[in-house]
Amino acid sequence: MVSIIKPIRGTAGEVALTNANTVSNATLIRVINTGTATALLNLANTTAIYANVTLLANSVTFITKDPTDTANGAVSTVRAAAIAYRD
């Protein structure tokens, strides 16, 4: 079965993750690292960082999170957009 990745209307579109960002309060985000080196992505809730994900160079990753959780890539090569899957 093929899934279609759909950007969410009414969201901010693709955002830089140089600072903590809820990515339009999305529960599913597409994260891209356009850099030539690996980058670390931190996921946090209101109390603390609860996960770290290593993003490979020139890669795309899909992450689920709670709407109020933040993602922070800390470098300018990491960006994210709110998405949904449609079967």
pLDDT one-digit tens code per residue, 36-79: 999 999 999 999 999 999 999 999 999 999 999 999 998 999 99
How many domains are contained in the chain?
1
Domain that holds residue 64: 4-86
Q: Round to whole Å and give the CA distance between 25 and 83.
A: 11
Neighbours of 17 (CB within 10 A): 27
- Rg of the chain over Cα atoms, rounded to whole angstroms, equals 12
Please give the model's pTM, rounded to 2 decimal places: 0.87
Q: Parallel, antiparallel, or unpaired for β 4-7 and 78-86?
A: antiparallel
Distance (Å, whole) CA 15 – CA 21: 8
Q: How many residues does the chain have?
A: 87
Least Cα distance to 41 among 52, 30, 26, 49 occurs for 52
CATH code, domain with 34 = 2.60.120
Q: Is the pLDDT confidence value at 31 over 90?
A: yes
What is the Cα–Cα distance from 64 to 61, expressed in whole angstroms?
10
Q: Please, which pLDDT band fits residue 7 given cuts at 50, 70 and 90?
A: confident
Residue 84's pLDDT is what? 86
